Amino acid sequence: MPSNTARKIAEPPPVLSLASGQMRKDQDISVRELRSMLDLAHDMKEHPERYAAALRGRYLALLFEKPSLRTRLTFELSIQQLGGGAVTTVGPIGEREPVKDVARNLARWVNCIVARTFAQQTVDDLAEWSGVPVVNALSDLYHPCQIFADAAALERHFGRLAGLKLAFVGDGNNVAHSLMLTLTRLGVSFAIANPAGYDPNPAIVAEARKLATAHGTKVTLTHDPEEAVRGSDAVYTDVWASMGQEHEAFERNLHFEPYRVNEALMHKAKKNAVFMHCLPAKRGQETTDGVMESKHSIVFDQAEYRLHAQKALLLMLLEGSNS
């Protein structure tokens, strides 16, 4: 398919239900369901009117322990554009009362819980006790909704996913984990370059490598940014100190200085390679303003697809069919 052309869908794609009934981590969605969600996201971008009342009368509870722009607003807009509504709380989850009590209260009022937390255990506990779908909107281990948007933005740009290579330069964090767990199953090989001591979780790497082998892709770990980026179709980075790591910022800046994605590093990738960032970005740290504003940057396409991918996910969780 030509570049910058979305996957063509003549008719509305089927809305599958997620067999897991949850989205706690990337592995909760199968490859078939991933493919269905991406098709649905592209169709929602092109034909939003088809879905304007798809979740009428359905409501989300958004629980946010961390600040948010894209995640909060796109989830609120997602359910509103599908005909439903959302209520949002900001602050620690499980501080005033146990998480299991929070979950069972919310399950009496809403159809789905979206949680942006520090600990993955909080997401897991909400899912265990709520009885309604729980969506991981970011935890210390995973950021699946971001990567669903990334996959859709990549596919829209290149017209395909199979055969691409994505290089991640920076911390072995939740974004890196979700990238390797999801993109490798969609045909994208993954390489990460990070400073020693900032490696991704070994258990997640082992699982990603098994998935990659099963789907004909590769997972590569290195401490050399040029090695990771060489021959890549996409170069991805993230902030050096995530929320909750601010006290480490000075030390991290020293270690990550050689891992800045600048124009010279981008030249090591393929000529038509794109630059990606989950945002917010600290320009001048993990990347330069020139790279962010270059013609190769698709960071705002990624941000836009947060809306479409999350609408697709919510529809699959709340209205999907097993047919």
Q: What order of strands is seen across the sheet that includes strand 274-277?
A: 219-222, 189-193, 165-169, 234-237, 274-277
Is 81 catalytic? The answer is no
Is 238 catalytic? The answer is yes
**3-state SS, one letter per residue, for the chain:** CCCCCCCCCCCCCCCECCCCCCECCHHHCCHHHHHHHHHHHHHHHHCHHHHCCCCCCCEEEEEECCCCCHHHHHHHHHHHHCCCEEEEEECCCCCCCCHHHHHHHHHCCCCEEEEECCCHHHHHHHHHHHCCCEEECCCCCCCHHHHHHHHHHHHHHHCCCCCCEEEEECCCCHHHHHHHHHHHHHCCEEEEECCCCCCCCHHHHHHHHHHHHHCCCCEEEECCHHHHHCCCCEEEECCCCCCCCHHHHHHHHHHHHHHCECHHHHCCCCCCCEEEECCCCCECCCECHHHHCCCCECHHHHHHHHHHHHHHHHHHHHHCECC
Is 224 catalytic? The answer is no
Is 143 catalytic? The answer is yes
- Spot the catalytic one: 7, 26, 260, 278: 278
- Spot the catalytic one: 72, 143, 277, 308: 143
- Number of residues in the chain: 323
- Spot the catalytic one: 39, 124, 125, 238: 238
- Spot the catalytic one: 24, 116, 156, 252: 116
Is 245 catalytic? The answer is no
Is 177 catalytic? The answer is no
Which residues participate in catalysis according to the annotation? 116, 143, 146, 238, 278, 306
